[in-house]
Amino acid sequence: MTFWRLHYHLIWATFNREPTLNVDREKMLYGVLYNKGQELGLIVHAAGNVEDHVHVVASIPPKLAVAECVRQIKGASAYAINRTPGGEGDFKWQGGYGALTIDERSLPIVMAYANNQKERHRTNQFIALYERMDGDEDETPEKK
């Protein structure tokens, strides 16, 4: 059996940062997130959102690339949201995402950050690095 502790803070936004994640879509997103996560072998520790973006704290097994994990979750959730009764069928996510690694000691702090997205944004108490999801999706710190 392989031992692993690979924790990530994943962030992605709605297309054009449109505020389209309403309560009904949010429920659909979380259902898909946890179901798809289980299917992929992820451990979803926390998730939170505001109307235009999502934060997910997850442990991703080494057999699965981070990009593939995010692609699967974004694809499955957009598909489900677009097939919800009464949905317009025009929901989509932005092309890129943000991914940050988390050490074991910081995991509870980042989980709380993700879980409290609505309050953090309401009170303007968010951390800029944790909100980063723009730019070239293949951009590395060396390329900056």
Which domains, from first to last, does the chain contain? 7-143 (3.30.70.1290)
Tens of pLDDT, residues 51-81? 999 999 999 999 999 999 999 999 999 999 9
Burial degree of 102 (CB within 10 A; 0-12, 13-18, 19+)? buried
Where are the alpha helices (H) located in 1-144, listed in sequence order?
A: 23-40, 66-82, 107-115, 117-122
More confident residue, 127 or 61: 61
At residue 105, the 3 state secondary structure works out as coil
pLDDT of residue 36: 96
The pLDDT-based confidence of 3 (bands split at 50, 70, 90) is confident
Instruction: Enumerate helices (H) and strands (E) in the chain, giving the number of each.
Output: 4, 4
φ/ψ of 123, rounded to 5, equals -100, 10
